[in-house]
């Protein structure tokens, strides 16, 4: 699968889990974990989809390994950060949220590096 498609697939998975979580929060009336739900939707779905859209626009970025590394880094950020926020809210530790935040900022940094290295469109 191409890098943009993998980003979109990961984003769609986060969206589905995030929306199901939102429906559960609405039905139960317990909104305590809404910051974790918000980060799953925003970092997991919205950011991953923006990254996927950019990789689709910049095909030369799909040729190297850096795009795949970026995808794995971003997915790891979400997978570590979201449960980490749950644990932080529940008062059982902040390590996951801290490590997830560092991974997320590294994913943002890698996006900047990629945007600076690769043009939009394929060079003639
Ligand atoms: C089926 C879809 C969804 C449902 C049922 C749902 C439900 C909820 C609920 C019940 C809350 C807590 C509100 C509160 O305590 O004030 C919440 C918070 C939030 N949701 Fe969702 N949500 C859904 C999808 C999404 C999506 C797709 C996004 C972003 C792309 C999103 C972003 C947020 C944000 C940022 C908050 C935090 C708002 C705040 O704390 O002020 N949600 N959601």
Q: How far apart are CA 52 and CA 58, in angstroms?
A: 10
Q: How far apart are CA 7 and CA 12, in angstroms?
A: 9
Q: Would the pTM of this model clear 0.85, i.e. be above it?
A: yes
Q: Is the dihedral of CA 112, 117, 119, 122 positive or negative?
A: negative
Q: Which residue has the tokens 């590096």?
A: 113
Give the residue among 50, 56, 60, 59 at the shortest CA–CA distance from 111: 50
Task: Find the residues whose C-beta lies inside 6 A of ligand 1.
Answer: 18-19, 22-23, 25-26, 31, 34, 37-38, 41-42, 45-46
Is the pLDDT at 124 greater than 80, yes or no? no
Which of 34, 36, 42, 82 for mutating ligand 1's site (highest number of atoms within 8 Å of CB)? Answer: 34
| The pLDDT of residue 64 | 83
Is the pLDDT at 97 greater than 90, yes or no? yes
| The pLDDT of residue 21 | 98
- Residue pair 19/38 in contact (Cβ under 8 Å)? The answer is no
Average pLDDT, the chain: 96
- Stretch 66-91: mean pLDDT: 98
- pLDDT tens digits along 36-54: 999 999 999 999 999 999 9
Instruction: Enumerate the domain spans of the chain.
Output: 3-117
- Confidence band, pLDDT 50/70/90 cuts, at residue 67: very high
- pLDDT tens digits along 26-36: 999 999 999 99
């Amino acid at each position: 699968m191409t890098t943009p498609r993998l980003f979109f697939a990961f984003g769609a998975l986060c969206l589905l889990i995030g929306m199901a979580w939102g429906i559960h929060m609405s039905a139960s009336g317990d909104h305590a974990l809404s910051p974790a739900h918000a980060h799953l939707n925003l970092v997991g779905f919205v950011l991953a989809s923006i990254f996927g859209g950019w990789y689709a626009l910049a095909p030369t970025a799909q040729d190297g390994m850096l795009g795949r590394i970026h995808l794995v880094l971003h997915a790891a950020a979400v997978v570590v950060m979201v449960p980490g926020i749950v644990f932080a809210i529940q008062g059982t530790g902040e390590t996951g949220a801290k490590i997830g935040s560092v991974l997320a900022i590294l994913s943002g940094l890698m996006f900047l590096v990629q945007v600076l290295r690769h043009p939009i469109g394929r060079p003639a």
